[in-house]
Chains A and B, each alone.
Chain A
Amino acid sequence: MTDTPISLERFTHLLDAYGANPARWPDDERALAQHLIEQSDIARAMWQQAAALDRVLDAVPSEPASPLLTAQVLATAPRRRRMRGWRVVMGTVPLAAAAAATLWFVADQRSTRPTAELTLVQIGEYASPTDALLATFAVDTSVTAPSIGCSDSALGCPILEAPAIDPYSQLPRQGRIYS
Chain B
Amino acid sequence: MMPPPVDDSDEALMIRAGRGDRLACQMLVERHLGRVVNVGVRMLGNRSDAEDAAQDVFLRVWSTAPRWKRGAARFTTWLYRVTVNVCLDRIAKKREAVTDEPLKVVDPQPEPGAALQEAELAAHVNAALAQLPETQRIAVTLCHYQGLRNIEAAEIMGVSIEALESLLARARRAMRAHLQPLAPALLGGS
**Residues of A in contact with B (beta carbons under 8 Å apart):** 13, 16-19, 24, 26, 48-49, 52-57, 59-66, 69-70, 72-74, 76-81
How long is the Cα–Cα vector from A78 to B41 in the complex, in angstroms?
A: 26
List residues of chain A with CB within 8 A of the CB of B54.
65, 69, 73
Closest to A13 in B: B169
Main secondary structure of the interface of B (DSSP, over half): helix
How long is the Cα–Cα vector from A97 to B145 in the complex, in angstroms?
A: 64
How near does chain A come to B75, taking the closest CB pair, in angstroms?
16
**Residues of B in contact with A (beta carbons under 8 Å apart):** 17-22, 25-26, 29-30, 33-34, 37-38, 42, 47, 51, 54-55, 58-59, 62, 65-66, 118, 121-122, 125-126, 129, 140, 143-145, 147, 150, 161, 164-166, 168-169, 172-173, 175-176, 179, 183, 186-188
Q: Are B17 and A78 in contact (CB under 8 A)?
A: yes
Q: Are B51 and A69 in contact (CB under 8 A)?
A: yes
How long is the Cα–Cα vector from A56 to B42 in the complex, in angstroms?
A: 15
Q: Are B126 and A60 in contact (CB under 8 A)?
A: yes
How long is the Cα–Cα vector from A77 to B42 in the complex, in angstroms?
A: 25
Q: Are A56 and B22 in contact (CB under 8 A)?
A: no
Q: Are B25 and A78 in contact (CB under 8 A)?
A: yes
| A59, A63, A81: the one within 8 Å of B125 (CB) | A59
Q: Are A80 and B172 in contact (CB under 8 A)?
A: no
Q: Are A62 and B62 in contact (CB under 8 A)?
A: no
Interface contacts (Cβ under 8 Å), in number, total: 115
How near does chain A come to B183, taking the closest CB pair, in angstroms?
6
Q: Are A26 and B29 in contact (CB under 8 A)?
A: no
9 CB contacts below 8 A, A to B, read A13-B165, A17-B165, A26-B150, A57-B175, A60-B145, A65-B51, A70-B30, A73-B29, A81-B20
Q: Are B17 and A56 in contact (CB under 8 A)?
A: no
Q: Chain B CB within 10 Å — which of A19, A63, A64, A73 has the most? A: A73
List residues of chain A with CB within 8 A of the CB of B168.
16-18
Q: Are B34 and A77 in contact (CB under 8 A)?
A: no
Q: Are A59 and B62 in contact (CB under 8 A)?
A: no
How long is the Cα–Cα vector from A90 to B186 in the complex, in angstroms?
A: 72
Q: Are B62 and A16 in contact (CB under 8 A)?
A: no
How long is the Cα–Cα vector from A19 to B17 in the complex, in angstroms?
A: 38
Q: Are B38 and A77 in contact (CB under 8 A)?
A: no
How long is the Cα–Cα vector from A61 to B21 in the complex, in angstroms?
A: 33
| B19, B34, B62, B150: the one within 8 Å of A76 (CB) | B62
Q: Are B172 and A76 in contact (CB under 8 A)?
A: no
Q: Are A79 and B188 in contact (CB under 8 A)?
A: no
Q: Are B19 and A24 in contact (CB under 8 A)?
A: no
